[in-house]
Structure 1
Amino acid sequence: MLRALGVFVARHRLSALLAWVILIGACVATALFGVTGESLFQRLSSAGPSVAGEASQAADLLQDPAADETESLSLLIHGVDLSAPELVWILSSATLDLNEIDGVTSVVNPLTIPPLPDGQPNPAAAPLLAPDGTGLLLNVEMTTTDGDPSDRVLTDVERRLGTAADEVRQVEPDAVAEVGGTPLLMDSLVAVAEADLQKGELIALPIALIVMLIIFGGFLAAGIPLIGALASIAGALGALFVFSHLMEIDTTVLNVITVIGLGLSIDYGLLIVSRFREEFRLLVARVGEQTRTERHELMLQAVGVTVDTAGRTVLYSGLTFAIATVGLLVFEPTIIRAISIGAVSVVLIAILTALVLVPALLGFFGERLLMPGVLTRIPGLGTLLTRFGDVAPPEGVFSRLTRLVQRAPALVALGGIAVLLLLGSPVLNMNVSSGGADAIPKASTQYEFVTALNDHFPLASAPLVQLVAATDEASAAAWTEEVAALPHVTGTTPPAQVNGYWVSRVGVDQNEGPGVVREIRADRPAFDNWAGGTDAASVDYTDSLLRGAPWAALIIGGATFVLLFLMTGSVVIPLTALVVSVISLGASVGILVWGFQEGNLAGLLNFDAATIAGVDPLVLTLVLTFGFGLAMDYEMFLLARIKEHHEQGESTRRSIETGLQSSGRIISSAALIIVIVFAGFATGDLLQMKQIGIALAVAVLLDATLVRTIVVPAVMTSLERSLWWAPKWMHPIHARFGMRE
């Protein structure tokens, strides 16, 4: 079936290419302009990951019923004399103008809130005044439709507050004057994600092209995988636009799915083009002299053989990666489920580009791919490029390396695993924490506003830890005093009544909030109570992921074992592949801990290590899942050739050698390109993408070098006598359902 598909697509290449152009054009137009008046980027959110838990229950109990119908922007001023006549006039003038804007429901100036009858400050003004007496917040409430204010109202309010901020800076040049709020924050994070996406592509694609030029020696062969990659990106954006109408799509989802689609598409395109050149050369050499028509028919046959062999490997590899991402559906957070569905979609698109688009392009340009590329004609450079070609000779670096490993396979395997365990040793000190202090990148236009709000207006910013009690005031106060005595608690506020509940804010040392929340929840009072706040939500989120992790691991591991068994007919190979991949992933997570939690990459990647309490659970989940999928990707590339040589009658030891020699170049080349892609996206401003990019780049680098070229051949050679073993009752299953070239 796959052979027939390849020949059909190559023969009807014009129709296939026109269909792809229409499909890609529709996806790009839909993502950029939308069909509902909104583009994909306008439909993205940045609410952050959350789950239904105790923190969300506490927030619901305290929620103002009118909050869903309004949204607010604020003018933050700090470092001024609040009694200065110029400031009073600026605020009064702004208040009058803002109240005239249609859609503004209220403007709250804390300087105009009267004190209580006994002369004490009004508690209503406290969140809007800086404790040091040199700052305030002018708050503007706006009506919303479906949770968002209209663009006109938002623009008018932002413009008038911006004018007031400029006037404050003119009067007090050293003052902080910033305009901010949730709508502007969401827009800024989406803009940062979009900029990161463009930056990553601008870095990754040109370098990937250079690498492929070295591999293929010409622009034509190098360009075909890149065309497939661009088509996959377009398809991914179109798919995400559709899913944005079914679920909330976070900005992180867009970047993660795009980088995965880009990497896989280049990998698969590289494998298809390389195998095509190998098969076409063999057919041409076998037939000898041909007419133009005969050569064209040979090209079509080569495409068919390529799709039937390398295309089958792509299909299995993509299926393995899809299985790994489907395992994410067991997790509760919407963002992870969105990434799972998006990843499955982009994997299917990457498979389609490899099996349909790339063969169509080969139908156009395949006959020219055997001609020496332009670069190979350059004196000196041509000789160098031939040493890095995509089609490996029968004897080379990888076959010699394998024979060297096979002299003492057990010793080499133990040594390689020891190195991986050493790299993974920082995992022993890993702290899983999804703190939000570093969620706003410095590139965001709202960074200064959010930083100043957190630093100078503690009562206006979201509480890190909050106590909610359904009892009397005395009991709530007693509970608050007990919490105040806990380690890492810096202070508490007296209980205040909100919606019939007594509420206290709890101050905590930096990055210690989750630990305080766990202590509070471990020793509860007799009355109904809730520990809420952003750090409590982080604890609920982390615990939710930990509950789902065993099920995800079972699904991913079990499905991968079955797939590898159906491919090889062995139970030993799947078991060794799973064990080695887990050890390799541990090494990449160890680098993640060393680089981010311990701060060793802070200078290189430009982030503040003090804001990172531990490894973000979302990052950890995605690194383990996608890292495993990519590891199995290269495992499929290698196993397909080993099994192919073994079925041709070679011994196990010999098939390992020739299999690695056949696939080593393409694995190394594909890995180098995907490392470049991940590293390119790690240069962005979103910290989560930095972590994901670096961890996956390290995972791929280790897998394609130490693991795939040394550890795996050593382990397989050590087990050569039992490598292809399976229980007798499983033989009929493999005979009936096995996957073969």
Structure 2
Amino acid sequence: MATLLHRLGTTAFRRWPLFIAGWVAVLLAIGALAAGFAKPTSDSFSIPGIPSEQAADLQSELFPGATDAFDQANVTVVVAAPEGESLSDPQWSGAVDDLVAALSGLPQLPEDPQATNPGLGNPVQVAAGQEQQLVQQARQSGGDVDAARADAAAVSPLSSDGRVGLITFAWDVDTVADVDPTTIDDLTSVMDDARDGGLVVEANGAGSQTQTAPGGTAELIGVGIALVVLLLTFGSLVAAGLPILIALVGVAIGSLGITAATALVDVSSFTPVLAVMIGLAVGIDYTLFILARYRTELEHTDDRQEAAGRAVGTAGSAVVFAGLTVLIALSALSVVRIPFLTAMGVAAAATVFIAVLIALTLLPAVLGMLKSKSFGGRVRRYAPKREADGRLLNNGVRWARVLGKRPVAFVLLVVVALGALAIPLKDLRLAFPTDSTASTDTTQRQASDLMAEAFGAGREGPLLVVVDARDVAAADRNAAFGEVAAWAAGQDDVVNAQIVATNADPTADPADPASAPTGALVQITPASGPDDPDTQDLLTALRDGQSDIEASTGTTTGVTGLTAITTDVSDRLADALPIYLVIVIGLAFILLMIVFRSILVPLTATLGFLLSVLATLGATVAIFQEGAFGIFEGQPIVSFIPIFLIGVVFGLAMDYQVFLVTRMREAHVHGMTTREAVVDGFRNSARVVTAAATIMTAVFAGFMLEDDPIIKSMGFALAIAIVFDAFVVRMVLVPALLYLLGEKAWWLPRWLDRILPDVDVEGEKLGRPAGVAAGGAHAGAVADTEDAAHHGGAHAARGHLAADRSEEERTRS
């Protein structure tokens, strides 16, 4: 692989106009496709095969006009009179009438919004009409009038004290994404006018806010911090800007490609954001590794083309492998058979793939264009200290020697610390964000709080039982529907259950048995909120009792609704998490065994990965779910974050493992003891790995400034994962374990060595130009950015490794 990449690097350097023009053409072509064929993103989190989806399909059969729960652009305007007063008071009744009239004039409403159910009207009047209708139906059918009044109160848009009312309507759009931002602006303006009149007015529902993808500020902050870190690393304005420029090109191509893909498949609004988040971070890092190696190679040769080729052949080989691990981890999300998660994983993987290609081809092409100006705009020069033998004495060496003095203490410290951080994970609660978990300064959260106080927490998250009575005799169907409703009402945590719709023909003669409805919808109002564990227990109880009620009535039933769907999705994700974790850890072990030709080194790497993931999830639960330190408001963890986090952290962890430990392995095979090899690995790699991890942490942490809770929590989790894995696991735990293992760390059975493929990640097969000591260059994964400040001294200090390399080559032959 190193030989092929060396050839690719030299070709790109020599024919830089062709490579640069090719990438520009790709960018323009994908941009044109995105501009011409892109469609709106979709936030449907449904999963085929889950019980709520099956019930929703049954509902569509019985009620052909039913709309997918995620596509309903509903708005609930919550209006309240001042404390101690009622909306029925003349002053406030008139104000509510004015509000309803203004709402009726908004764009994107149905032609006759008052004709919809429950109708866009004054909640005082709508509530009275609903109660009158239900009571009249009960009297006509000989039913219980008191029960009819109770049913009316359970769905009434007016609170029992008459102070709070609900004005509910839906935009006339196909999906929530079709709601224009100007429509939301008009809605906000109408609400502000009503507030000026003395009413309390808030709004929630999927159609109450603009569906815009977050981003922008976060990326700028991350890029700004990356520029500072790169400037400190290279001491050159041009060199500091190159990784950012190259990464931005890759991110632009990746994000435009995802936008263009919306013409063919449904893409979540969060998919491009996550792809940009990951693509920007790895794009900068991969370019940084190769550029740093290029700078080192210039110390061994005046041939810039050869230096570029060797940089791509050595550090580029490690970039390919590191990128491959990220690709596999993200693509493997498809194993759990969750469409929206698969789409996010594939989109992010595609962006990483482009980042790898860009680093391997566009960077050497730009270096070929700049030539001697690649490290121009110098702002500082680095003059490293040296030991008596001429070797560099830097902070990496100092830290490695500190670790070597007390390796047992450092291992215990890391294991105990990360283990303690993982403890909150036992209370992990997965759910999808709702208006009731939004930030307290949003109108959505304030509307939810008003609703919960006036109507009960369960009003916002009802469950829906679909009843199929096509196999029941026509004369018995209504009785069957009633029995199902009574069964649902008898469950714990249920405030009310009633039949809210049947598919009977309204024009047919009710006395004709043939006109009896074949399906009904039973709405269940829980006592608890949509994200409350009691509501999930209720859902479980309903499904556990389905077989009995179906046997008793002869019907087929299913429970659906937005709450049921999101609960099922969360359960599926939670069930898939252990499976995916096993797959990723197993894959990590095999890949690292191939790279390091060892069993114990991959074992320490995968155990460290597991520790960092568990600690990350524990910290995320503590900060976001439990609200520790008051930094964020406590709310459930978004369901897909843990499994997505595992995939991303696995890939990034393997990046740092490869770039740091391959240098140790190279030093060891050249004759150093394990203890000396660990120190040498830190001497040549710690600076660049630290810079890369700092950049990646900054990029991810910038997303914590977004308002969206999903992006905020994802940014935090990824940022803290990098801190734990790069700085704690890779730079403390792994080297300390290598000190303890000694020479046993590199043990591999002969039979296994024969069957494992020989992947030249370190570029050992690349020869040195004449006049350069074979051992004089760092053939590992990470370039020594500090070598650029010295010349002959470093060559002499490393020359003693030449004999070791020659002996190794003779042994292999």
- Written as runs of structure 1 = structure 2, the 5 A alignment for 1:165-184 is 165=191, 168-169=194-195, 172-176=197-201, 182-184=206-208
Matched, 1:508 2:566: no
Residues 123-162 of structure 1 mapped to structure 2, 5 A cutoff = 126-138=155-167, 144=173
**Structure 1 residue 339 corresponds to structure 2 residue 344:** yes
Give the secondary structure class of the aligned counterpart of 1:78: strand
Per-residue deviation, 1:491: 2.5
1:303 counterpart residue number = 308
Deviates more, 1:630-639 or 1:465-474: 465-474
Q: C-alpha distance in 2, partners of 1:399/1:92?
A: 72
Aligned counterparts of 2:344 and 2:399: Cα–Cα separation in 1: 39
Are positions 1:621 and 2:646 aligned together? no
CA distance in 2, matches of 1:496, 1:462: 16
**1:269-668 equivalent positions in 2, closer than 5 A:** 269-283=287-301, 295=302, 298-369=303-374, 373-376=377-380, 394-434=392-432, 436-437=434-435, 440=438, 463-467=461-465, 472=480, 475-476=483-484, 478-484=486-492, 489=493, 491-494=495-498, 496=500, 498=502, 499-508=519-528, 511-512=532-533, 513-522=535-544, 526-528=548-550, 529-601=557-629, 603-604=630-631, 607-609=632-634, 612-613=635-636, 615-668=637-690
- Percent identity, aligned pairs only? 26
CA 1:12–1:662: 2 relative to 1, 3 Å: same
* Distance 1:435-1:88 versus aligned 2 partners, 3 A rule: closer
| Partner amino acid, structure 2, of 1:646 | H
Q: Post-superposition shift, 1:10?
A: 0.9
Matches within 5 A, 1:39-118: 43-48=40-45, 50=47, 52-62=49-59, 64-68=63-67, 74=75, 76=77, 78-80=79-81, 81-82=87-88, 84=90, 86-87=94-95, 90=98, 106=115, 108-111=119-122, 114=129, 115-116=132-133, 117=136
Matches within 5 A, 1:132-281: 132-138=161-167, 144=173, 165=191, 168-169=194-195, 172-176=197-201, 182-185=206-209, 188-190=210-212, 193-194=213-214, 197-281=215-299
C-alpha deviations, 1:518-551, integer Å up to 9, x for none?
A: 3444555612344444443333112212333344
TM-score (norm 2): 0.76
The CA distance in 1 between the partners of 2:485 and 2:170, in whole Å, is 32
From 16, 26, 43, the counterpart of 1:13: 16
The code of the aligned residue for 1:648 comes to: H
Q: Which amino acid aligns with 2:331?
A: V
CA contact (8 A) 2:326 2:651 kept: yes
Aligned-partner residue type, residue 694 of structure 1: F
CA separation of 1:142 and 1:413: change in aligned 2, threshold 3 A = closer
The Cα shift of 1:659 comes to: 1.4
Amino acid at match of 2:198: P
Distance 1:416 1:669, change over 3 A: same
2:508 counterpart residue number: none
Local SS of the residue matching 2:392: coil
Contact map agreement 2:481 2:520 (CA 8 A) in 1: no
Partner of 1:287: none
Q: Establish whether residue 711 from structure 1 lines up as the match of residue 708 from structure 2.
A: no
Residue identity matched to 1:18: A
What does residue 24 of structure 1 align with?
27
User: Shift of the alpha carbon at 1:103?
Assistant: 5.2
The aligned amino acid for 1:608 is E
Would the aligned equivalents of 2:315 and 2:762 in 1 still touch at CA under 8 Å? no
Hey, what's the Cα distance between the residues in 2 that align with 1:158 and 1:424?
A: 42
1:475 shift after superposition: 3.6
**Alignment partners' CA distance in 1, 2:227 and 2:696:** 12
C-alpha spacing 1:424/1:366, structure 2 compared with 1 (3 Å): farther
- Deviations along 1:686-735, whole A, 9 cap, x unmatched? 11222221122111112222211221111122223322222222222236
Question: 1:107-129: per-residue Cα shift (whole Å, max 9, x none)?
Answer: 63445665335798795994544
CA distance in 2, matches of 1:97, 1:416: 62
Q: Using the alignment, how far apart are the partners of 1:204 and 1:211 within structure 2?
A: 11
TM value normalised by structure 1: 0.83
Distance 1:445 1:275, change over 3 A: farther
Secondary structure of 2:742's aligned partner: coil
Partner of 2:429: helix, strand, or coil? coil
Q: Residue 74 of structure 1: CA displacement?
A: 5.0
1:726 and 2:748 are equivalent in the alignment: yes
Q: Displacement of 1:300 after TM fit?
A: 0.7
CA contact (8 A) 1:79 1:176 kept: yes
Confirm or deny: 8 A CA contact 2:419 2:611 kept in the other structure: yes
How far apart are the structure 1 equivalents of 2:625 and 2:170? 39
Following TM superposition, by how much is the alpha carbon of 1:677 offset from its aligned partner in structure 2, in angstroms? 0.8
Match of 2:699 among 672, 677, 680: 677
Q: How far is 1:351 from its partner?
A: 0.2
The alpha-carbon distance between structure 1 residues 98 and 733, as it changes in their structure 2 partners (threshold 3 A), is: closer
How far residue 366 of structure 1 moved from its aligned partner, in angstroms, is: 4.3
Deviation at 1:636, TM superposition (A): 0.9
CA apart distance, 1:511: 2.4
**Residue 3 of structure 1: aligned partner:** 6
**Between 639-648 and 705-714, the greater mean CA deviation after superposition:** 639-648
Rate the CA distance shift 1:689–1:135 in 2: closer, same or farther, 3 A: same
**What secondary structure sits across from 1:343 in the alignment?**
helix
SS at match of 2:526: strand
Greater shift in the superposed pair: 16-25 or 5-14: 16-25
Whether contact under 8 Å (1:517, 1:535) holds in the other structure is no
Using the TM superposition, give the Cα deviation of residue 326 of structure 1 relative to its aligned residue in structure 2, in angstroms. 1.6
Cα contact 1:229–1:265 (8 A) shared by 2: yes
**For the pair shown, which has the larger CA radius of gyration, 1 or 2?**
2
Kept in 1: contact 2:462–2:524 (CA 8 A): no
Task: For residues 72-113 of structure 1, give each alpha carbon's deviation from its aligned partner in whole angstroms, at most 9, with x where no partner exists.
Answer: 665725124346473476368559867998855746344566
> Which residue identity lines up with residue 174 of structure 1 in the other structure?
L
| Distance in 1 of aligned mates of 2:677 and 2:257 | 41
Provide the residue aligned with 2:509 in structure 1. none
Q: CA deviation at 1:315?
A: 0.3
Matched AA of 2:487: W
Code of the aligned partner of 1:235: I
Change in 2 beyond 3 A, CA 1:432/1:147: closer
Tell me, which stretches of 5 or more residues in structure 1 are unaligned? 284-294, 377-381
CA distance in 1, matches of 2:414, 2:72: 57
